[in-house]
Amino acid sequence: MGLLRRATPSSTRGRLLLVGGGLLLVVVALALLALPFRHAPAAAEAARADLQTAKAALEAGDVEGAEQAITSARSHADEVQGAVQGVGGHVWSWVPVAGGPVRDVRRLGNALDDLTSVAEVGVGLVSRVNSDRSTLVDDGNVDLEVLATVIDDVDRVDVLVKRASAELDDVAEARLVAGDRLGEARNEVVEQMQPLVDGLATAQPLLAELPLMLGSQADRQYLVALLNPSELRYSGGTPLTFTTMDLSQGQLSMGDVVDTSTAPGTAQAIYWKKVKGNPFHRGRLKVLTSTMAPDWRVSGNELANAWRSLRGRRLAGVVVIDVPALADLVALTGPINVPTLGTITPDTLVETLVGSYDEYDDPAQRKEINRALAPLFSERLLSGDPLDTAKVLARAADERRFAVYLRAPEEQAVFSDLGLTGELGDARRDYIGVFTQNRVPSKSDYWQRRAVRSEVDVRKDGSAHVRLAVQIHNDSPPYVRGGVDPQLGYFTRWNFSSVLTMLPEGAEFTGGTIDGQPFAVRRGNFYDQTFQRQSLEFAPQARRELVVEYDVPAAATVEADGSLAYGLTIDPQAIVNPQAVEVRVRFPQGYAPGALPAGWTPSGPRGVTYRTDALETTEVFEVIARP
């Protein structure tokens, strides 16, 4: 049996010195391993600055400058990775307490590396799509092989972005040693990445369908209709001029431009397959009256069916664009020369095409101008800067001046997600949609001026009573043709309109007046929405007012804390002079509105007001009042 030995002070000190010496060696080793970390922050900042420079260069169209900046960014990103991903970084990542920040630094380095790779792929994409080097589109034809490389590159970018996002998701908001500095850096990068993430979510579904739409597997034909807002349908301008786009293996060919005088049957009432549930299609109709439904998902389908009945060919889709939107496209590439008119600028195109009927004694002259302008859409669509063109068309779609209808449901869904299908806005809470339709053929909608006022009394249960007043002024000039105004045709100053008010889901009419006199409201249903329409006639300079009153079952939602969240969507009609809108909302006794959306102002202790002199795009609002 061994003897127990009592430790002496000197032996204890020896052990402590050995342990301390060992720890010191570890600390020294870790310190030496950490030396490369000193250069990482500066290199990371330099890489980020280079990427910002590249972004600015691309936005300015300087592809070479962007390439140089990205080359520099790659050098700095590699320096960061060399500093934090080596042996030192690996060892430090396992050290208690200090290891957490090190792991976060390594994750930030990985994200920077991936985002630099995104930039490298992206600048190549821009070169192929949107630069002088681009070969994607040539003389209106799309190179499907180049498009395939674009799709592959976008998919590669998506992989890199998702990988970078995963690295950033693992970075802690705060660490014991580093505090919240790394978390703040992560949040800044995530914020800067968000437009890229959103862009990928938009681009990838579209690119997946694009080859088929360009005729990669089977030939496609699309109808292009030019809309004239001086003669309105509920959906917008009347389609008076047509052409077709045929696509085969990316190769584009345009059909003849036709109108009511050159396309037999367009002015005759015919049968075609009705879109199920469309209350605005009854019996025989003319192609020119096929687009009465205010939602282009329905009107586009009706127009496609009408054209098939007229011409015997099934269309892949319909594209509609009105004259003001066409003027915006023309603005991208400068003035144009039109036979019989000479040079037309974007500023004069609308007035020339839809506001100057008195200058042409022969209607055939007007139709000749229309036929000359119709091909401009396809020419401008497939020439110039595609990003600028996309922005113009997106804006036009927001204004309901441009819409796409596609037969294939998956293709239609992609364009719907892009906001390009001319759908009516969300009507589940409060909704305002006022549309007029020319009942007696004329061009007098060019002078129509409209003001809409909605007075909303919200109740505690979220329901509301609404008084909607529509004031219309036929602001037409004197008749100049001599003799008596015929009250129809190209030169009349009279306007015979059908006024359609689309209301929220489940709305119940409680009454209405026309110029102060009560009338019986005739209720209709457009899928989930309620509507009423009244026929009114307007002498030159006449002003008339239509008022409808109704109850909305759920204009506001009742929140968990008792607050009322009033929701409102307002849809415009694509008229020459955008309508004015005023909305006054009053909440129940004991409620006070909080922070207001842009365009809204307080009006009394419980009231708020929204006002615009020109409603050009669909507007969506939520106003919260708390007890």
Which of 82-86, 129-133, 296-300, 362-366 is the most confident on average? 296-300
Classify residue 316 by its DSSP letter. S
Residue whose structure tokens are 């096929």: 290
190/602 Cα distance (integer angstroms)? 36
109/103 Cα distance (integer angstroms)? 10
Question: Predicted confidence band at 296 (pLDDT cuts at 50, 70, 90)?
Answer: very high
Nearest alpha carbon to residue 65 among 77, 50, 78: 50
315/406 Cα distance (integer angstroms)? 9
pLDDT at position 377 over 80: no
Per-residue pLDDT at 35: 42
Nearest alpha carbon to residue 371 among 347, 344, 339: 339
335/332 Cα distance (integer angstroms)? 9
At residue 449's C-alpha, the angle toward residues 446 and 452, to 5°, is 140
150/535 Cα distance (integer angstroms)? 52
Which of residues 549 and 34 earns the better pLDDT score? 549
3-state secondary structure string across 348-398:
HHHHHHHCCHHHCCCHHHHHHHHHHHCCHHHHHHCCCCHHHHHHHHHHHHH
Question: Predicted confidence band at 216 (pLDDT cuts at 50, 70, 90)?
Answer: very high
Per-residue pLDDT at 57: 84
Token pair listed for 226: 């030019």
pLDDT at position 204 over 80: yes
Burial category of 394 from C-beta neighbours within 10 Å (exposed 0-12, middle 13-18, buried 19 and up): middle
Question: Predicted confidence band at 237 (pLDDT cuts at 50, 70, 90)?
Answer: very high
Asked whether the beta carbons of 47 and 119 are under 8 A apart, the reply is: no
- Section 390-405 average pLDDT: 94
What does the pLDDT look like over 588-618, one tens digit per residue?
A: 999 999 999 999 999 988 999 999 999 999 9
pTM: 0.84
Q: What contacts 610, CB < 8 A, 6 or more positions away?
A: 568, 581, 582, 583, 599, 600, 601, 621
Which residues are bridge partners to 609 per DSSP?
A: 584, 601
Per-residue pLDDT at 416: 95
Asked whether the beta carbons of 329 and 392 are under 8 A apart, the reply is: yes
The answer to which of 37-41, 216-220, 290-294, 425-429 has the lowest mean pLDDT is: 37-41
Half-sphere exposure in the Cβ direction for 16 (13 Å, CA): 7
296/420 Cα distance (integer angstroms)? 10
Task: Tell me if residue 242 falls in helix, strand or coil.
Answer: strand
- Section 307-334 average pLDDT: 89
pLDDT at position 5 over 50: no
Q: What is the DSSP string of 138-184?
A: ETTEE-HHHHHHHHHHHHHHHHHHHHHHHHHHTS-S-BTTTBTHHHH
| Residue 621, H or E segment | strand 619-626
Per-residue pLDDT at 3: 38
The answer to which of 27-31, 140-144, 465-469 has the lowest mean pLDDT is: 27-31
Quick one: what percent of the chain has pLDDT higher than 70?
83
Asked whether the beta carbons of 106 and 92 are under 8 A apart, the reply is: no
Q: Which residues of 479-498 are buried (b: 16+ CB within 10 A; e: fewer)?
A: beeeeebebebbbbbbbbbb
- Quote the mean pLDDT of the chain: 85
Token pair listed for 462: 């979220």
Token pair listed for 580: 């004015």
Asked whether the beta carbons of 551 and 507 are under 8 A apart, the reply is: yes
- Section 523-536 average pLDDT: 93
